[in-house]
């Protein structure tokens, strides 16, 4: 790199090395489930905040503004969500094959786990989570969605279908249909086929999405703290040992990458899109990596301390080079997004806005890395929804180690 690090430009700007990129885009939403909710286990006190450090005042203020919470409510929610992230793997093990999915309930402040067995419900509550009896296990729900994915891989889903996912709260597969296309013959055929799918059909819920088409958030070259490949600007997601991860639609393997100042950073070592939307870029030539996500002056720059996965319903924030820092909540997981370039699988959906130029940027919950921005719909003036590619899958595929503080 050709400049000396200075205050913000040095440590922080290097992680997002010049900052995140993308293309413009569209998105959609999810629903609820049968069964009886068991009371949350009695605890001596609020769950302890699981992070290595308390959230900054800036983060608390910004998140509170986005979610309509007071400072005390925001701090309490972050503490509860952090505890839920740590608890989820243990609760899932306790549920075993009875596991029907999990989500964070903001009203109670507890992790809720769907279970198909009353005996396993007792074990899950003993582990510390609340439970809800459900008709279908997560494995059954995922299998029903996988059948849709397989059919879409053989024959592209109609453009009127924007996405589909499993909603553990509803105990169903949810298909999101673009407004105005509900009665199209191809859309109706896709929905009818989904309802007939499998030996033991899982309920299918149809929800109306925006009239817009989901798109990626790549953009032409503009100013800011970007990285560039060709005439596309994209945002860094997270530093890993030897480079950073970002969105696959930002560049193909072998493509050269330059930084905010035009100097050479490295090259795409791997890239996948569609099907997936992730990539790994090597870093060298005087550039280096740091475990930081830019707060863009809205909040202090955030240190990355791990990649524990936030549950559905948890709060989450995004950093990108165009629209900077915005927050919201996790709406759905394992969603298939029907982009015009082809379907992308196993995405996580949020109600956080994004704009062209934000692709590849960081999604973070507390100090835990979550994923890299893929696409969505809307903007940060009128609102919208955005999907991200979960970071742990990217680390696993490329054998990478997250750079943490």
**Whole-number Å distance between alpha carbons of 73 and 79:** 10
SS3 112: strand
Asked whether 112 and 319 are in contact (CB, 8 A), the reply is no
Please say if 183 is a catalytic residue: no
Asked whether 23 and 218 are in contact (CB, 8 A), the reply is yes
Helix (H) or strand (E) run with residue 189 in it: helix 185-196
Task: Write down the residue that tokens 């105990």 correspond to.
Answer: 171
Which of 82, 315, 359, 362 is an active site residue?
Answer: 359
The H-assigned helical ranges of 128-161 are 138-154
**Whole-number Å distance between alpha carbons of 340 and 270:** 22
Please say if 277 is a catalytic residue: yes
Task: Write down the residue that tokens 């959230």 correspond to.
Answer: 55
Task: Write down the residue that tokens 């709406």 correspond to.
Answer: 331
Residues in contact with 382: Cβ distance below 8 Å, sequence separation at least 6, in sequence order: none
Which of 277, 301, 358, 367 is an active site residue?
Answer: 277
Residues in contact with 45: Cβ distance below 8 Å, sequence separation at least 6, in sequence order: none
Task: Write down the residue that tokens 């090395």 correspond to.
Answer: 17
Beta strands in 60-109 (DSSP E): 99-105
What would you report as the CA-atom Rg of the chain, rounded to the nearest whole angstrom? 21
Asked whether 39 and 250 are in contact (CB, 8 A), the reply is no
N- to C-terminal Cα separation, the chain: 22
Which of 136, 249, 324, 403 is an active site residue?
Answer: 249
Identify any residues that bridge with 364 across adjacent strands, giving them in sequence order. Answer: 317, 369
* β-pairing verdict for 232-234 and 204-209: unpaired
SS3 306: strand
**Whole-number Å distance between alpha carbons of 331 and 345:** 16
Please say if 359 is a catalytic residue: yes
Burial class of residue 106 in the structure, from the number of CB atoms within 10 Å of its CB (0-12 exposed, 13-18 middle, 19+ buried)? middle
Asked whether 81 and 365 are in contact (CB, 8 A), the reply is yes
Which residues does the annotation mark as catalytic? Answer: 249, 277, 359
């Amino acid at each position: 790199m050709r400049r000396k690090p200075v205050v913000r430009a040095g440590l922080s700007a290097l992680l997002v090395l010049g900052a995140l990129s993308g293309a413009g885009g569209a998105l959609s939403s999810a629903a609820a489930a049968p069964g009886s909710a068991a009371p949350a286990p009695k605890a001596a006190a609020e769950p302890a905040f699981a992070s290595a450090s308390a959230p900054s005042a800036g983060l608390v203020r910004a998140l509170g503004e986005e979610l309509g919470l007071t400072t005390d409510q925001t701090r309490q929610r972050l503490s509860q969500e952090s505890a839920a992230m740590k608890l989820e793997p243990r609760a899932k093990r306790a549920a075993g094959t009875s596991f029907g999915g999990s989500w964070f309930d903001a009203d109670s402040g507890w992790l809720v786990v769907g279970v198909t067995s009353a005996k396993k419900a007792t074990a899950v509550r003993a582990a510390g989570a609340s439970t809800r009896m459900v008709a279908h296990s997560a494995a059954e729900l995922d299998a029903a969605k996988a059948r849709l994915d397989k059919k879409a891989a053989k024959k592209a889903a109609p453009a009127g279908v924007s996405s589909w996912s499993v909603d553990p709260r509803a105990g169903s597969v949810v298909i999101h249909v673009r407004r105005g296309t509900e009665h199209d013959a191809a859309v109706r055929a896709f929905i009818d086929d989904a309802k007939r799918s499998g030996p033991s059909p899982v309920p299918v819920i149809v929800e109306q999405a925006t009239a817009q088409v989901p798109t990626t958030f790549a953009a032409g070259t503009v100013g800011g703290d970007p990285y560039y490949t060709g005439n596309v600007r994209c945002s860094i997601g997270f530093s890993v040992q030897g480079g950073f991860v970002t969105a696959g639609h930002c560049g193909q393997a072998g493509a050269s990458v330059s930084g905010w100042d035009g100097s050479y950073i490295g090259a795409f070592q791997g890239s996948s899109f569609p099907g997936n939307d992730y990539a790994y870029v090597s870093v060298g030539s005087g550039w280096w990596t740091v475990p930081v996500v830019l707060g863009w002056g809205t909040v202090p720059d955030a240190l990355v301390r791990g990649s524990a996965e936030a549950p559905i319903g948890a709060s989450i924030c995004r950093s990108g080079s165009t629209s900077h820092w915005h927050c919201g909540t996790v709406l759905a997981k394992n969603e298939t997004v029907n982009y015009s370039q082809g379907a992308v699988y196993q995405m996580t959906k949020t109600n956080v806005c994004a704009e062209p130029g934000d692709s590849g940027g960081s999604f973070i919950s507390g100090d835990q890395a979550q994923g890299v921005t893929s696409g969505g719909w809307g903007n940060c003036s009128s609102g919208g929804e955005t999907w991200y590619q979960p970071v742990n899958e990217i680390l696993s595929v490329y054998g990478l180690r997250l750079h943490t503080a």
